[in-house]
A and B are shown apart, each in its own frame.
Chain A
Amino acid sequence: MAGVLLNNVVKRFGDFEIIHGASLDIADGEFVVFVGPSGCGKSTLLRMIAGLEDISGGEIAIGGKTVNDVEPADRGIAMVFQSYALYPHMSVEQNLSFGLRMNGNPKADTDRRVKKAAEILHITDLMARRPRQLSGGQRQRVAIGRAIVREPQVFLFDEPLSNLDAELRVQMRVEISRLHKELGTTMIYVTHDQIEAMTLADRIVVLRGGHVEQIGRPLDLYSDPDNQFVAGFVGSPKMNFITARVLERGASGVTVELAGGTRLTQPLNGPAPEPGSKVVVGVRPEHFGHAGKGDADLSVTIDVVEHLGGTSFLYASTAAGDDIVIQRDAAEVSDAPEITVSIRKSYLFDDKGRRLR
Chain B
Amino acid sequence: MRYQNATAYRFLAPYLLIFSIFWLWPIIDSFLISFQATRTVPWRFSPTFNWGRLIGDPAFFNALKNTLLILVIQVPVMITLAIVMAVLLNSPLLKARGLFRFAFFAPVVVGEVAYSAVFRLMFNLDYGIINKLLNSVGLPSIDWFSNVTPAMAVIMIAVTWRWAGYNAIILLAGLQSIPQDVYEAATLDRVSKLKQFIYITLPLLKPIIVFCAVLSIIGTMQLFTEPFLITERGGPGGGTETLGLLLYRQGFRSLNFGYASAIAYTMAGLAIAISLVQLWLTRDPK
| Residues on A facing B (Cβ under 8 Å) | 50, 52, 71-74, 77-79, 81, 83, 85-89, 98-99, 102-103, 146, 150
Contacts and interface: CB of A to CB of B under 8 A. Distances in A.
Nearest to A156: B188
20 contacts: A50-B188, A52-B188, A77-B188, A78-B188, A79-B184, A81-B184, A85-B179, A85-B184, A87-B185, A87-B186, A87-B200, A88-B182, A89-B203, A98-B186, A99-B190, A102-B195, A102-B199, A103-B190, A146-B185, A146-B189
B179 A102 contact: no
A73 B195 CA distance: 15
Interface string B181-208: 1101111111100010001100110000
Contact of A52 (B184, B191, B203): B184
A77 B184 CA distance: 13
Given A83-B179, A85-B179, A89-B203, A73 B189 contact: yes
Interface of B is mostly: helix
Given A98-B199, A102-B199, A87 B191 contact: no
Nearest to B184: A52
B182 A87 contact: yes
A98 B182 contact: no
Contacts, number: 59
Interface of B: 179, 181-182, 184-191, 195, 199-200, 203-204
A102 B190 contact: yes
Contact of B185 (A77, A85, A89, A103): A85
Contacts of A78: 188
B1 to A, nearest CB: 37
B177 to A, nearest CB: 11
B95 to A, nearest CB: 16
A141 to B, nearest CB: 15
Contacts of A74: 190
B184 A98 contact: no
Contact of A88 (B186, B191, B204): B204
Given A98-B199, A102-B195, A102-B199, A85 B181 contact: yes
A73 B187 contact: yes
Contact of A98 (B179, B181, B191, B204): B191
B169 to A, nearest CB: 23
A77 B190 CA distance: 11
B188 A79 contact: yes
Contacts of A103: 189-191
